[in-house]
Structure 1
Amino acid sequence: MRLIVTHEQPDFDALASLALAKLLFPGAVATIQGALSKQLRAFLTLYRDELDLVPANSVDLAGVRELIVVDTADPSRIEPFDALLGKVPVTLYDHHPTPEGAIVAARGISERIGATATLLTRELHATAVPIPPPVATLALLGIHEDTGNLTYDSCSPDDYRAAAHLLASGANLGLVRRFAHDHLGADQLAFRDALLQHARTGEVAGRLVVSAAFTYPEYVPAVSGLVNDLLDLYAADAAVVAVAMDRSTLVFARSNERFDSAAALAEAVGGGGHAGAAFGKSQLPPEEALERVLAALTRHAAPPVTARELMSSPVKSVRQSDSVANVVEKLLLFGHNGMPVTDDAGRVVGVVSRRDLDRALRHGLGASRVSGFMSREVVSAPPHATLPQLEALVLKHNIGRIPIVDRGELVGIVTRTDLIGARHRRPHDDRAATLLERLPDSAERALASAAALAGDAALYLVGGTVRDLLLGAGIKDLDLVVEGSAARLGAHLQRELGGTLSAHVEFGTATLTLPSGLQLDLATAREETYSHPGALPEVTPSSIRKDMARRDFTINAMALRLNPPPAVLFDPYSGEEDLAARQLRALHPLSFVEDPTRVLRGARLAGRLGFQFEAATAAWAREALTPEVLANVSHARSRAELELTFAEGRVAPALAVLAELGALEAIFGLTGAGARFDALELAGRLDALRQEGEVPDAAYLLALLVGANPEEAERHVEAFNWPRRHLQARAKLLSVLLREPRADGRRGGAVRDEELEALDAPARWLLRAAEPELAGRLQRLEQQPPPRRLRGSDVVALGLLPGPAVGKVLDEVAQARADGRVSHFAEELDLARRLVAEERGDDLE
C-alpha cells in the first residue's frame, strides 16, 4: 500500500496535507500520530468519515510499498514510520526550510511558501482533480493557520491563489472562522498572564525583540498563538519564549522578515519550522535556552535596510543665496517638490518646499533670497539610519524628504516615495532559479552534479519535468538532454552518485536510477525524421532547438538550461502560454501524421491535466485518423499506449478525449453502437472507486468491452492480442448485469454467490461500479473464506431424484441466500429439506 504520514502533533496544515495527498494519490492510506489540539480534535470529530484516517498502530509496515511524507522533512518527526526510510520509495511535499539530516525523497516538491496545503492544492488544481468541500475547508484552514490569515512574510501569491481555488471548491468560511481562532480557556488565560509577567524587551542586531523565560507548573496546549500576539503587543521584530513544562523546555519563536526564526532555533536547540515561526524542545533550563536562541538570532538577522541603500545621490540642492525664482525654475526642471538648502561650505541649513516658493512668487518676491522662505529646522539622518528609523522621522515631523548627512556633509536624500518603495520591493525574479528551487533536495543535488560533470557540453532539464515545475506540481523523474553523449554523462554520474545505469547507445539515451529511487532519463540532443507516416523515427544528434522541435506538444517543448550557468528558461514555442490557457497545441500540422500515437499520448496528458486540445490541433488529430495513416502503426504500439492510459489515476477523462476525437473508433474499432452500457460512464465510476482502492487496470479494458457490442469486442480482443479471458469475463459479467430484476426491482437479489465468486478481480471491480448494491456482497465474499454451500449431491441425498427438480431447489436456496434468509450451510440444508418435502408432496407434519 501507499502510506501518507505527517509530523507528530499535527496542525491544521499537516492534517489538510494528508487529506489533499489522498486525492493526489488515489487508494493511499493516511494516518496521524501524536497529541492533537482541541480544535483539531473537534474538526476530526465532525469530518472523521470524510478524511478516513487509520490509527497509526494499525499500519503494517511490512505492507507499505511507498511512503508519502507531507509537511515535514525531519525523519525524527515521523516516528515510527522513519523505519521505512531507505527501504521504500519516498515522495515528499514540504514548505519548511530543509533540516539537517533531512528525509531523502526521489519525488514530490519542496518550496518555501506559506503552507504545504498550498503546494498540494496547486498540484490538484493543475491536474484538474476536484477537491470536495470538506477537504477544501480543511485546506483553507491549514493555509490560514500557517500564514497568519495570509499576512505572514512567508506568504506568497500562490497561497492567495490556492485560497481562492479552495473557496471556489466550496470551502466553508464559517467553519474556517470557527476553527481558525481558538477561544482561550481558563488554563490558556492563566498562561498568558504568566507570559506577560515574564516578558522583557531588548535589542538583537539593532532590532526590538521581546522574550520570556519561565517555568510553568502544568502543560498547556495551543499556546503558540499567544507567543505570536507578543509581536503585535510590543511592535517587536521577534518574540522568543522558553517555558519549562511537561518535563521539557519548550521554545517558541516568531518574527517578521528581519529574522530567520527557524534557522536560529535549529542552531540553538535543534528546532525547526518557518523563517517567521519556529518551535523546538530542549532539556536546558529556560533561561539558558533563551540565551542561546537570542545569541543565534544575531547570526540569523537579515541585513537592515539603511538610508545608504535608499538615498538618491548626488543630491540636487540650492544655495541659501539663490533667488526664489531661480530655485522654482530648478524645481520645475528636475520635477522635485522640494530641495535641501546649503550654505557656502555645503552644510545643510534648511529645506525649501515648492508650495512655500509658489506663495512667495504670488506676492512678487521672486528676486528675494530663498533663505527667507526655507524651513530652518532640518530633520536629517545619518547613512546608517534604518528603514524603521527613517519612517519614524517622517511620521513624527510630517515631512516628505530627509537629507542624509555624513559628518556634516550632504551625501543623499530619502523621500517618502523611497520609503514606500522599500516596503513594497519585490525580490529579484530569477524565474529559472526559482523553478529549480521547487525540486526536492536530492533532485537538486543530482542536477548540480550533472551540470558539473557535463563539462563544456550544454545540459538542459526538459519536457514533462519543466512542465510540471511551471504548473507547481511535484516532480516524478528528471528528464535531461545533453548536447553531447548521454551514455558518457550517465556513466560519470553513476560513478559519482551510485545507482543503476541502463544505456542505449544506438538511441542516444541512458537511464540512471539512484539509490533514493530518483530516476534520471538522459538523452543526447537529437532531431527526428520519418520515412513515412506512422514509421518509427530516424534519430541523429543535433542541438537543443532541434530537440525541442521534435516534441509532441508545446507544453512539452520547454527546457531549463543547467550548463553553462546561469539557469535560463528556454520556451521557443510559447508553451508557457498554452499552460496558462490549459490547452494542448501541436508544434506543426503534420505532427499526428508523422506519429499517430501522439493522439493517444495527448489524450492521456489532456485527461491528466484537465486540458483541452487547441482547436487547430484537434482538427489535425482528426485528419490523421485515416486508415491510410493508421495502417503504418502496429497494434502493439497502440495497445501499449492504451495500457498506459489505464494506469492513470483518472482514466475516464482521457477516454473521453479519445472518444471526442474519434480515436476510440478509428484506432481501436470501438463505437459503442448497440451496446447496453456506456463505457465512459463505467470508466468514470471506476475512477471514483480508484480514489479509495487499487482498481486493476484491466477493469478499464473490461469497461470498454462491456460498452461494445459482441462483434466489436471480439474483433478488438483479436486484433490487439488481448488474452481471451477478458471476453470470458465480459460474458460472465453481462450475465449478471443483464439479469432480470426481481419483483421488488432489485437485480442483485437474483444473483447467486457462486456467480460472483466466478468473476475475476477486474470483473468484480467493474460490477461494483455498475451495480453498487452488490458491493457489500462482493466485499463479504472476498474477505471471508469460501463457505460450505448446498450442492446438488446434498439435495439428492435428501431423497430427490436427479433432474430439473434438483436445480429448482438449488435456485430457491440461492435466492434465500441472496436475500439473507439463510446464512450458513445448516440453514440451507434445512430449507432444502423442506423444499424437497414439498416437491415430493410429503407431509411436513
Structure 2
Amino acid sequence: MSKKNKTITAETIITSHINADFDAIASMLAAQKLYPNSIIVFPGSQEKNLRDFFISSTSYLFNMADPGSIDFSQTLRLVIVDTRQTSRLPQVSDLLRKKDIKIDIYDHHPAMEGDLKGSVEITRQTGATITILCSLLQEKKFFPTPEEATIMALGIYEDTGLFTYSSTTREDFEQAAFLLSCGASLSTIAGFVVKEIKSEQVTWLNELLNEMTIHRINGVDIHMSVISSSSYITDLATIVQKIVRMENLDIFFAIVLMGNKIHIIARNLIPEVDVGKILSEFGGGGHPSAASAKVENRTLAQVEMMLIERLQKQVKQIQIVKNMMTSPAITIEPLVTCKTAGSLMTRYNINTLLVVDKQKNYYEGYITRQIIEKILYHKLSHLPVKEYMNSEVSSISSDADVSQIENIIVEGKHRILPVIDDGFIKGVITRTDLLNYLVQHSKEIKRNETELGIKKNAKKRQIENILYQRLDNRIKQLLQNIGKTGNELGFNMFVVGGFVRDLLLSRQIDDIDIVVEGDGIEFAKTYAKKEGCRINTYKKFGTAVIIYPDNFKIDVASARLEYYKTPAALPIVEKSSIKLDLARRDFTINTLAISLNPDNFGTMIDYFGANRDLKDKTIRTIHNLSFVEDPTRIFRAIKFSNRFGFKIGKVTSNLIKNAITIDCFKNLSGLRVLSELKQIFEEENPIPAIKTMESYGLEKVLHKDLTLIPNTYQLLESVNKILSWHDLLYMDEPYPRWAVYFMAMLNRCSYKVCEQICTRLNVPLRERGILLEKRYKAEKQLNLIESSSTYTKQELYWTLINFKTEYILYMMALVKDEEIKKAISNFYTHQRGIKPYIKGRDLLKLGLQPGPVFSAIIKQVLNAKLDGQLKTRKEEIQFAAAYAEKTNLLIKS
C-alpha cells in the first residue's frame, strides 16, 4: 500500500499543549464526545506515569492519530483545549497557518498577551479545563463511561491539587461529583495523583505510628497519635492519609504540636461519626470524613483529653441497635407447650424464643433450643415453656450504645437481648448479631467504600444520582411519589431486587417491585386512588399489583418472611421487616433495596454483600438450605449465571449438587419446573445454561433416559442461529421462543419418553401438542421435503402453509441441505403472506356454481401468483375465467 493511501483525513482535529498533563488529556477526551468523528492529535511528549497509564489501560478510548499521517488540507476546524498559546502547539503549526480554519478554544488559564483568538471561545477561571467541558457534557446529556469518567476526574484532581489549590472553584467539586456518579474510580485516581511523601517525612510517619494508641469508645476503635515537633512538618495531611491507608484505619486523629500551635488532623470512614463537627468545637472544621483544626494556649495533654471527651459525647449518640437487631421478634406465650416451642424454632430456624405474656404485654424470659431438646428427650414436650424458661432477663432500648449491649450479652452471659421501647418489643439482638457487628462492621465499611466509585458516606447522594441518570423521567417521578405516599401513611418504602440489581449493572429494567414495611395492600389502594390506577390484591400474601391506564404495572408487597413446612412446598408467608424480607430471597445479588421515603430517598441497603457479589460477578445463595426448601432456585441460579455472565460460587455449587443428590425435586410441582425451564429457554442464548444444567445432571430431573449428546448441542446451536436470523427480521409476530429450544432438546427422544416428560412437567394440553404431535408432524414433513428430488414453490407452499412460526423455525434448524433451508426461509419471508385478491363473489359473477370448485380455482390462482404470473386482481379474474373455460366449468348463457 502506498504512503498516500495511509493518509488520514478529518474535518475536525482536537489537540492540546505539549507535555500534556491529565487535565489536557481529559479535556481532549471530553472534546471528542462533543465533536463526533473528530481525530485527536496527541501532543509530542508526556510525563512517564501518564504514558504508562495510556499504554496499560485507556488509549483505546481515544480516536488518535500521528500528525504526520493526517492530511490537514481537508481539516475545517481545530479544537484546542487547556491552552491558548501558539508556542505550545507545534504539532498543529501547519493548521494554525491555514486562513480558512475555524478555531474553537476551551481553556481555564488567565488571558495572556499573544493568545490565540477563536471563532468559539469558552474560557473561565476554574481549577481545571475539564471542569468546563464536563459542564457542557451535562448540558448535552452526554454521560461518560466509568473509564472515561475516571480519566476526566483525574484532570480535576490533579489540577486542583486534590481540591487544595486556591484556584479550586465550586464548579470543580460539582463536576467531580458528576464524574463520580458516572462511575469514576477513586482508587485509580488515587494511584496517579496522591503525592508520595518525601524522605524527610518518613521520620514523622514512623513517629505517628509508634505513638498510636486505641481508644475504644462505645464499641468503636478510635486511633490517635500525639507527637511534637520543634519545626513545621510539611504536608502533614499527606502523611496522615498515608497512615490511614497503610493501617486500614476507620478513624484516625493526629494531634501534633508544631512550634506554639497544636494541629489536629482527622480522617474518618464511619458514616455515623462527623469529624468536621467534632473539630468545629476546637475552632476548626471540614466535613464528616476529613477535618482539621489549630489550637493555641493549650497543652498536648489538655487537647488530647478534650478530644476524647468530645468523642465520647459524639460517638455515644450513635444508635446502632436498629441496624444490629433482628425484627420482628419471634415470641411464644408462657403456657404454650415445649413441643410447640420446638416446632417454632425449626420453622423460623432460630435458637432462642422470647416468652411474652401478650395479655399483659410483659416479657417474662426466654427459652433455648438446647433446653427444648433436653425436654423432648425426656418426653416432657407436653409441659408449658414457663416451667423451663430462663427468667433472669434484661432488655435495652433502641437508643442503647454498643457498650451496653456488650455488657449485658458478654458480661451477663445472656443469649438474647430484646429491644423494648414504650413497653413494646421492637426486635432482638443475639450473641451472633453482636459478634457479627464487632467482627465485620469495620470490614464491611471498607469493602463497600468504593463499590460505586464513591465513599460510603456519600452513598445516599450517589445512588440518588444513579437513579436520576439511568431512569427516565416517568420512573423517577413514580418512585418519588411512592415514597411520599408511603411517608404519609407512616410506612417505610423500598424498591428492591432485580430493579436495583439491573440498575447497578446498567441493564434494561423491566419490573418495579416495591416492598412496604407496613400494609402493602393499604398503600396500594391509597396510591392507586391518588394516581387514578386500578389494583389487583392478594390478601393471602399481602401483595397487590398497581395498573396504570396504559397497563404499566407496579408490584407491591408487604415486607414478609417465608418458611417451608416441607422441602419443595410453597412457602407460608408472614409480615416482617425489610431485612427479613430480603433474607428470604434466592441470591445475594437480588437482596439490594433502595429507600424511597423523602428523608432517605436513594439510600441503598445491602445486608448480604450483594454489591461485593455484583463486583465479583458471582451467584451466591443466602442460606444453606435454600435449594432444599425451593429447588427451583437451582434453575434460577443457572439462569442468572448465563444471563449476566456470572460464575456460580463454589459453596453455592456444592449446595446445588447436594440438593440434587438428596432428590429435592421429588415433591416439586412439574409446572414450577416447566416455568423455570421456559424462562431459561427464553433467554437470548440459553445454550450455556443448558450445558450447566447437564453438568449438574438436571436433565435427569425431567427423565432418567433424557441424554444430551453432541448432536443435541449442534441442533441447539442451529436453533440459536435461526432464531437470531428471525429476530433480525423485526416481524411483529410473537411465537413461543422457548418451545423451539425445547423441541430441539427432545429431538432424539422416543415418543414415549417425550410423553412421560410432558406428564412429569404437567405441560398444558396446547403446549403438549407443540412438543409431541405437531413436532413429529413437522419432522415428518421435513423428511418428505428432504427425500424429494425436486420440490416446486407450490408444493413447498402447500406443505408448510399450515405450520405456525415455531415449527417453521424448528424445521429450518433441523434441515441439513442449505438449498432447502434457503427455500423454507424464502417461503417464510416472502411466500407465506401471499394471498389471492379474488374472492368467491368474483367466481359467482363468472357464472360458477358454489362448491369445491371454488377452492380448486383459488388454489390454481395462488399457484400462479407464487410463480409471479399474476400481479393484479383483474389478472386473477381473467386467469380464473380461462381456467374455468378450459376445464368446462363455466355455465353457458
TM-score, scaled relative to structure 1: 0.47
Tell me which of the two structures has the higher relative contact order, counting C-alpha pairs closer than 8 angstroms and 6 or more residues apart: 1
TM-score using structure 2 length: 0.44
